[in-house]
Amino acid sequence: MATTLLVLNGPNLNMLGTREPAVYGKDTLADVEAQCRAAAQAHGLELEFAQTNHEGQMIDWIHQARGRVAGIVINPAAWTHTSVALHDALAAAEVPTIEVHISNVHKREAFRHHSYVSLVAIGVIAGLGTHGYTLAIEHFAKLLK
């Protein structure tokens, strides 16, 4: 059976490429998906990629990942800093999770310094641009070898 990774993206990330390019760069979400698929393919991993602006949808996807995928790479976007529900969904799913942020949230406003997701993540990558997604996939590839 193929090993599957799930890459999840939270609110406003559908606007990548045009959204505050000085902060988030010029890559679109389609570019990020292509990078993720290339990284997964290089390691013989299946990849699912999704984005939503609806918190309940994100929580449903996380529940459905339980027992089904080997790892989650998530950019929870603004829900990082607000959502106990997202924390609880990831805790319930019991799937190893890597949290990714395109920007260095620790260099930004104080409200971005706290993450509910970090408490349930095996690791966090922030500030390396969209390359952070590739690095997270490569880390899972190494863990799954």
| Bind-site residues for substrate | 75, 81, 88, 102-103, 112
Stretch that binds ligand DQA, among 28-36, 43-51, 83-91, 99-107 (CB under 6 A): 99-107
Q: Is 128 in the site for ligand DQA (CB under 6 A)?
A: no
Min dist. Cβ of residue 132 to ligand DQA (A): 8
Q: Is 101 in the site for ligand DQA (CB under 6 A)?
A: yes
Given 3, 17, 46, 78, the residue binding ligand DQA (CB under 6 A): 78
Of 45-64, which residues contact ligand DQA (CB under 6 A)? Answer: none
Separation between Cα atoms, residue 131 and residue 55, nearest integer Å: 25
Residues that bind ligand DQA (CB under 6 A): 12, 75, 77-78, 80, 101-103, 105, 112
